[in-house]
Structures are given as structure tokens and as C-alpha cells.
């Protein structure tokens, strides 16, 4: 997959792929809003989540962010959420 992602970045460029990432995030946002209005479509939501995942992987590549760096932040945020939930 990494080779496909890097080929897309080379072919389309960082600026274009950054815009595509924002568009995909927006499409996921739209699906979440629809679900809140009672129009949940599991297939659409799954597709948008997949699109966002693909673009997040490309964003990491484009900006030199490693999986380890992301996971450290994820662990920090989960720990913070755990503390917040414990507080009440």
C-alpha cells in the first residue's frame, strides 16, 4: 500500500493530495451528520472511513510523520480520555 500512496503523492503532488484529504474528511463529516439526523447508511459511513484512512496514511507520508509518532499521541489522548471519564 505504501508504494501506491507514494506514487499518488508523486503523481498529484502534496498540495493536491492535501486538498483531497480535506475533502475526504468533509465527506465523513457529512455522513456523521446524516447519521445524527436518522439517515445512517453503514456502507456509506464505512466507505468514507476508508477514504479518510487512505488519506491519513498519505498525509503522514507527505509530512514525514511516523506511525510511532501518531501512536504516542493516540496513547496520550486515550490516557487523557480515561482520566476525564474517571473524573465524572
Question: Model confidence over 40-73: pLDDT tens digits?
Answer: 999 999 999 999 999 999 999 999 999 999 999 9
The per-residue DSSP string of 15-58 comes to: HHHHHHHHHHHHHHHHHHHHHHTT---HHHHHHHHHHHHHHHHH
d(CA 62, CA 59): 5
What is residue 34's predicted lDDT score, i.e. its pLDDT? 98
CB neighbour class for 45 (10 Å; exposed up to 12, middle 13-18, buried from 19)? middle
Q: Please, which pLDDT band fits residue 21 given cuts at 50, 70 and 90?
A: very high
Domains in the chain, CATH or no CATH each: 2-87 (1.10.287)
pLDDT at position 88: 78
Q: Rounded to two decimals, what is the model's pTM? A: 0.91
Amino acid at each position: 500500500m505504501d508504494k501506491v500512496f507514494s506514487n499518488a503523492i508523486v503523481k498529484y503532488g502534496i498540495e493536491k493530495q492535501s486538498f483531497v484529504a480535506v475533502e475526504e474528511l468533509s465527506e465523513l463529516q457529512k455522513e456523521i451528520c446524516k447519521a445524527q439526523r436518522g439517515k445512517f447508511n453503514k456502507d456509506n459511513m464505512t466507505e468514507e472511513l476508508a477514504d479518510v484512512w487512505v488519506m491519513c496514511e498519505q498525509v503522514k507520508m507527505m509530512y514525514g510523520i511516523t506511525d510511532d509518532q501518531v501512536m504516542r499521541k493516540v496513547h496520550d489522548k486515550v490516557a487523557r480520555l480515561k482520566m476525564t471519564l474517571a473524573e465524572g
